[in-house]
Amino acid sequence: MSFQQALSGLNAASRSLDVIGHNIANAGTTGMKSSRAEFAEIYASSAGSIGGTNVGLGVEVGAVAQQFTQGTLTITGNDLDVAINGKGFFQVKATDGTTSYTRAGNFKLDKDGNIVTNNGSAVMGYPTDSAGVRQSFDAQPLRLPTGTPIPAKQTTKMSAEITLDASAAVAATAVPPTPLQTYGTSLTAFDPQGLEIPVGMYFTKTANNSWQVRTSVNGSDPAASTPFTVNFLANGALDPATPIPPLTLASPNNPAQTFTVALDLSKMTQVNSRFAVADLAQDGYTSGALTGIKIEDSGILTATYSNGQTQAAGQVALVNFRNAQGLAPTGSGYWVETAGSGQPVRGAPGEGTFGQLRSGALEESNVDLTAELVNMMTTQRAYQANAQTIKTQDQVMSTLVNLR
C-alpha cells in the first residue's frame, strides 16, 4: 500500500495555493499578469503492464502558466504614466546592460533627462526628428534635453492671410488722404540669437485690384521703405504672377547683421469686406527650457518648451513575442526572452497588431480577486481530501498490521 498518490496531491495543492497567494498578493501591482497551476497525472511506465490495469501514481504540477490578458486601465493624470491598450511589451535596459520587457508603464524622469522605470532601467525607444517622423527601428534609451535649453532658430519664412477691402478708395484720390497705418499689421520675427525683431506690413491701395506694400523693421518708418505691389484677379484672389520679394531683416544687436526672409502672401484676398487679418505666422523662435513632456497614443514623446515650441524626442518602442507564455519572469514586473518565447518582434504603438498607448493611465493587474478566492477555497478542499486519503491509508495499514 502506498501513500504516494496522496502525497503528490498534497504537494500539488500546496503549490497551487502558492500560486493563488502570489496572485492575490499582487492584485494591486501595476502591469502584473496572473498565473495558474496546471496539473498533470502521473503513471508508472512498465513494459508488462496491460491497458486498463496500470494504477496512477498521483499528480504533479505540469506548469505554472502566465495569463497575458488585458488589465483594466486606470486614469492617473501623470503624463509619464503609460498603459498599453492591446498587445505588446515595453523594452527596458537595466544598468547592467541586460534587456527586459514589462507591461508596467509607471515611468520617471531622472536627473539626466532619461526616461526610466522604478528600478532605474532605461526605457527604450526609436529615434525621431523634431517633427516626430521615425528615423529607424534601432532601439535606444529615451532621453530629453533637460540640462540645456533648445537653441534659438532664425526666422526663414513668414506668411500672412489678410483680407483687403475692395471698396477702399484709391489713396491718391481719397479726401482726406488715407493714413499709411490704416491698413496695417505686425508680427515678431527672430534673429539667429533669438532676439525679437518687430516687423510691420502696411497696405495702400494704388488702383483697382492693386495695392502697394511697405514694411517696417525694428520700429523703422515704413514710409522710408522700398515698396512692392500686389495685384488681385477679378475674383479677388491674389494674382499668382505677382512677384513677392523677400524681406530684409536686421538684428537688434547689430543693424549691419542682416538676413533675408521669404514672404508668402498667397492667401491674401481682396473682397467687399472690412480689412481683417486671419493669420500671421513665422518659423523662428527664441531659446527655451523644458517645461513639460507628454507621450502620445502613437508613442511619440513630445517635449514642450518655455518658448511655446513642441518637439518630438523619440518614440516609445514596443515588442511582442510569438509565444508570450514562454517568457521567463524575473521579478518586479519584468520578463526576459527565452528559447520558448522566440525572438522579439519590434514595432510601434498602434501599428500592425501592436496596441495603442494611453498616456496618463496605468494598466492594473489582471488578477480577478473573486475568482482567486473561489480557487483558494477549492484548492483548500482538495488539500483536505488528500490529507484524508493519507489518514484512510494509515487506518488500512494499521488494520493489516494488527491482524491476529
- From first to last of its 404 residues, what are the pLDDT tens digits of the chain? 468 888 888 999 999 999 999 999 999 999 999 999 999 988 876 555 555 566 778 888 989 999 999 999 999 989 899 999 999 999 999 988 899 999 999 999 888 889 999 999 999 999 999 888 999 899 999 988 776 788 899 999 999 999 999 999 998 888 888 888 889 999 999 999 999 999 999 999 999 999 999 999 988 899 888 999 999 999 999 999 999 999 999 999 888 889 999 999 999 999 999 999 999 999 999 998 888 888 999 999 998 898 888 889 899 999 999 999 999 999 889 999 999 999 999 999 999 899 999 999 999 999 999 999 999 999 999 999 988 988 888 888 888 888 76
Q: Are residues 359 and 369 in the same domain?
A: no
Same domain, 26 and 92: no
Query: Rounded CA gap, 129 and 235, in Å?
Result: 41
135 and 203 both lie in a single domain: no
AA letter at 404 = R
Q: b/e string for 234-263 if b means 16 or more Cβ within 10 A?
A: eebebeeebeeeebebbbbeeeeeebebeb
Q: Do 168 and 273 sit in the same domain of this protein?
A: yes
Do 142 and 94 share a structural domain? yes
Same domain, 251 and 222: yes
Range of the domain at 19: 4-69+365-401
In CATH, what number is assigned to the domain containing residue 243? Answer: 2.60.98.20
90 within 8 A of 57, measured Cβ to Cβ:
no
> In this structure, is residue 98 part of a structural domain?
yes
- List all residues 6 or more positions away from 163 whose beta carbon is below 8 Å from its beta carbon: 268, 269, 270, 271, 273, 274, 275, 276, 277, 278
Residues 278 and 211 in one domain: yes
The per-residue pLDDT for 146 is: 72
**Residues 110, 129: one domain?**
yes
Q: Please give the Cα distance from 134 to 350 (Å, whole number).
A: 14
pTM assigned to the model: 0.75
Asked which of 228, 252, 282 is the last residue of a domain, the reply is 282
Residue 319 belongs to a domain: yes
Largest CA distance in the chain: 141
Report the number of distinct structural domains present in the chain. 3
**Is position 379 within any domain?**
yes
Give me the pLDDT at residue 51, please. 57
Cell numbers for 262, please give them.
521669404
- Give the helix/strand (H/E) hosting 356: strand 356-359
For residue 289, tell me if it sits in a domain: no
Q: Is residue 267 part of a domain?
A: yes
Domain membership flag for residue 376:
yes
Residues 205 and 277 in one domain: yes
Which element (helix H / strand E) includes 79? none
Indicate whether 224 and 307 sit together in one domain.
no
Judgement on whether residues 345 and 391 belong to the same structural domain of the protein: no
Question: Does any domain span residue 377?
Answer: yes
If asked whether residues 46 and 97 sit together in one domain, one would say no
DSSP-derived pairing of the beta strands 157-165 and 258-264: parallel
The pair phi, psi for residue 180, each rounded to 5°, is -60, -35
CB 324: neighbour CB atoms within 10 A?
17
Q: Is residue 287 in some structural domain? A: no
